[in-house]
Amino acid sequence: MLQTINKYIQNGLVAIMMACSVTALFSSTSFSWAKIEILHIPILFIISLVASLCISEDVRNSFKKVLRFEKRADKRPIWEVGVGMIFFFVQIGLIEVFFRTLMEPNLGGMPLYIVFGFMNAFLATVIYEEIVYSKVVNQNQHHPVK
């Protein structure tokens, strides 16, 4: 049950990350159709999100294959990096699409939204790991996967 919820959360965040990337890419172009909004939500984001939800499981599994996740004896470090990366890029993407005014302040040349995004991603990963990963490990110890 918890592994299924974990998978859906990660797939949802990957889909948001991909939709934000596509929307941010097209929002800086001169295409007028890319700037159409409904209730301050870009229509391109909605379309990209629906399409991304369909392929997010495959994208996540592809990264796991590239990083040889299943063959690692200790999956924890790469799991933490993967989840942290997802949290970081979702925050960055949401700021680039919905809160562009927050992109202007900087801290000694480093955009402040990137600094806060990194700190938030670290904290979110630690909290998420405490809720999800420790229970996943405990469930696998009692019920080994064949």
- Alpha carbons within 13 angstroms on the beta-carbon side of residue 96 total 23
Res 18: pLDDT: 93
Res 28: pLDDT: 78
Res 137: pLDDT: 56
Which residues lie closer than 8 Å to 101 by C-beta, 6 or more apart? Answer: none
Res 93: pLDDT: 92
The DSSP output letter for 75 is: -
Closest alpha carbon to 85 in 71, 111, 67, 103: 67
Res 144: pLDDT: 53
Res 107: pLDDT: 78
C-alpha span between 75 and 95 (Å, rounded): 31
Res 20: pLDDT: 92
Domain-by-domain residue ranges, the chain?
2-142
* Predicted TM-score of the model (pTM): 0.78
Instruction: DSSP for 93-144, please give it.
Output: HHHHHH-GGGGS-EETTEEHHHHHHHHHHHHHHHHHIIIIIHHHHHHHHHS-
C-alpha span between 103 and 92 (Å, rounded): 9
Per-residue confidence of the chain (146 residues) as pLDDT tens digits?
A: 777 888 898 899 999 999 999 998 888 777 777 778 788 888 889 999 999 999 999 998 888 888 888 888 877 777 788 888 999 999 999 998 888 888 888 878 888 888 889 999 999 888 888 887 665 555 555 555 54
